[in-house]
Amino acid sequence: MGALAQLRAGRKLRRIPQLLVGLVGYGASVMALVQSGLGAASWNVLTEGIAGITQLSFGWASNLVALTVLVAWIPIRELPGIGTVLNVAVIGISADAAARFLPVPHGFAAQLGYLLGGLVALAFFDALYLGAQFGSGPRDGLMTGLVRLTGRPVAVVRTGIEVLVAVTGWLLGGTVGFGTVVIAVCFGPLVGLFLPWLTVRLSTSEPDKA
């Protein structure tokens, strides 16, 4: 659905809080993965590298990456939704806030706990905000736009993007580890597991109700 259809669709009393909780939780989960020190998701590797070069906080660097990717939507003719705009603003702020409260893990067991807990939480909150049906984030929209333009399978396009982004982030000084591989392999299936349970069923023609 386009932005207007998303707003006209019903069940907003559930969808709006679900969107906001999903985005805040997503940002906090991102920071847990980064603080694990075992390797973050590819986009977060890129964000970490940019943050180190620019001296921006991780959250502001995340917002900068999201805005840049959003500009890349223009030539591939992707249309943003309400969730797309809030994605740019909320996730970075949430990640910075989480960095202030999450204790630094000491020892491999604690690091592994941050990695596995952060991965499950990231997939859950990603499915939560996507399930609100207010539009995808900049990174997801880049993938769907390229799939539409190239006609290539989602798996091929997604993998190509993830590898390119991770390598670029590593060259800029971001942390790549075995956790990066674990996230790349497990994130998609976990989102697929959560999404059917968290997607709000609605029709653009139904009355606006909770």
Q: For the chain, what percent of residues have pLDDT higher than 70?
A: 92
- Residue 114 in any domain: the answer is yes
Which element (helix H / strand E) includes 150?
Answer: helix 138-150
Cα distance between residue 139 and residue 92, in whole Å: 14
Residues with Cβ within 8 Å of 112's Cβ and at least 6 positions away in sequence, in order, are: 36, 38
- Residue 205 in any domain: the answer is no
pLDDT at residue 207, as a whole number: 47
- Residue 1 in any domain: the answer is no
CB 30 within 8 A of CB 122: yes
pLDDT at residue 3, as a whole number: 59
pLDDT at residue 210, as a whole number: 47
Region 180-191: mean pLDDT is 86
- Residue 92 in any domain: the answer is yes
Residue 76: pLDDT over 80: yes
Q: Residue 186 is part of which domain span? A: 9-198
pLDDT at residue 171, as a whole number: 94
pLDDT at residue 110, as a whole number: 96
Q: Which range, 106-110, 130-134, 150-154, has the best average confidence (pLDDT)? A: 106-110
In tens, the pLDDT along 91-125 reads 989 999 999 999 999 999 999 999 999 999 999 99
Q: Which residue has the higher pLDDT, 96 or 203?
A: 96
pLDDT at residue 205, as a whole number: 46
Instruction: State the pLDDT confidence band at 201, using cuts at 50, 70 and 90.
Output: confident
Q: Token pair 């740019």 is at which residue?
A: 88
- Residue 56 in any domain: the answer is yes
Residue type, 3: A
pLDDT at residue 111, as a whole number: 96
Region 44-73: mean pLDDT is 91
Cα distance between residue 209 and residue 88, in whole Å: 27
Distances (CA, A) of 75 to 32, 72, 88, 164: 34, 6, 19, 20
pLDDT at residue 157, as a whole number: 80
Least confident of 16-20, 84-88, 98-102, 144-148: 144-148
- Residue 13 in any domain: the answer is yes
Query: How many Å is the maximal CA-CA distance in the chain?
Result: 54
Instruction: Count how many domains the chain has.
Output: 1
- Average pLDDT over all residues of the chain: 86
- Residue 53 in any domain: the answer is yes
User: How many C-beta atoms lie closer than 10 Å to residue 101's C-beta?
Assistant: 8
Cα distance between residue 191 and residue 181, in whole Å: 16
- Residue 204 in any domain: the answer is no
